[in-house]
Amino acid sequence: MTSSDSSHSTTAHRHWDEIWKTTGGRADWSTVDPWVADTIDLLRKRKVRDVLDLACGIGRHAVFLARSGFVCWAIDASDTAIDQSRAAAEEAGVDLDLRIGPMNRLPYPDDHFDYVLAYNAIYHGDRNAVRSHVREIHRVLRPGGLYQLTMLSRRNHHHGRGIEVGPGAFVQPEATDDKVHPHFYCDAAEMIAIHEPAALVRAHDEEHVAPGSFHWHCLFELPKGGGGLK
């Protein structure tokens, strides 16, 4: 089914704000993903210093990055996520610059970070919203900067379910999770196209905990001469 309403964008943080209020909701998001941990050696080799955890949730990766010696900023649109991240940073004894805000209007100057992480983040919204999230990543990254993120794969079992609110974007009105908000799904060609002119360094399509929950895991690099997505 296709809807003519093109106003759908990023509203999923409302769902996540409720999840982050519960102990059970936080439990699944408290440990560092090994794929993120495995990137640390590359970041050190590249002499990365300033890093951003975009849509950081309760701060599992931001705290890990700060503990690993990087200067870490983190942002999320959920107030509760940022409260929880602050508590996690205090407990770990690390400094984080924490902000509440949306992915499509980041409160950072141009060319500010060497690396951006966006784990299960930028696909919240329709294709236009996703492009606006990528545009902001490109803006705040330095030329030659790296970014690592997940995107929803078209192999994901939720692709095609519910109402298509834009090309590749679906809302499931009956869902009991964040799928009541728009989510964007892409194949490899589209995933690469959305991030141009960044170069794809590597990607794989990985099933997360739930059977059929395929996500692209990708690492991109901005051109050294600058000129990210405008």
Ligand X SMILES: C[S@@+](CC[C@H](N)C(=O)[O-])C[C@H]1O[C@@H](n2cnc3c(N)ncnc32)[C@H](O)[C@@H]1O
Residues making contact with ligand X (CB under 6 A): 10, 12-13, 16, 29, 55-57, 60-61, 76-78, 81, 102-103, 119-121, 124
- Nearest residue (CB) to ligand X, 20 versus 228: 20
What proportions of the chain, in percent to the nearest 5, are helix, strand and coil? 30, 30, 40
- Nearest residue (CB) to ligand X, 57 versus 162: 57
Which residue in the block uniquely carries the two structure tokens 């499509």?
Answer: 104
Residue nearest to ligand X (CB): 57
All residues at 6 or more sequence positions from 90 whose CB lies less than 8 Å from its CB, including other chains: none
* Smallest gap from residue 127 Cβ to ligand X (A): 14
User: Would you give the DSSP letter of residue 117?
Assistant: E
Q: Comparing C-alpha atoms, which of 40, 12, 65 is closest to residue 177?
A: 12
- Nearest residue (CB) to ligand X, 81 versus 186: 81
- Nearest residue (CB) to ligand X, 26 versus 159: 26
Residue 17 contacts residue 80 (beta carbons within 8 Å): yes
* Smallest gap from residue 125 Cβ to ligand X (A): 7
* Smallest gap from residue 224 Cβ to ligand X (A): 27
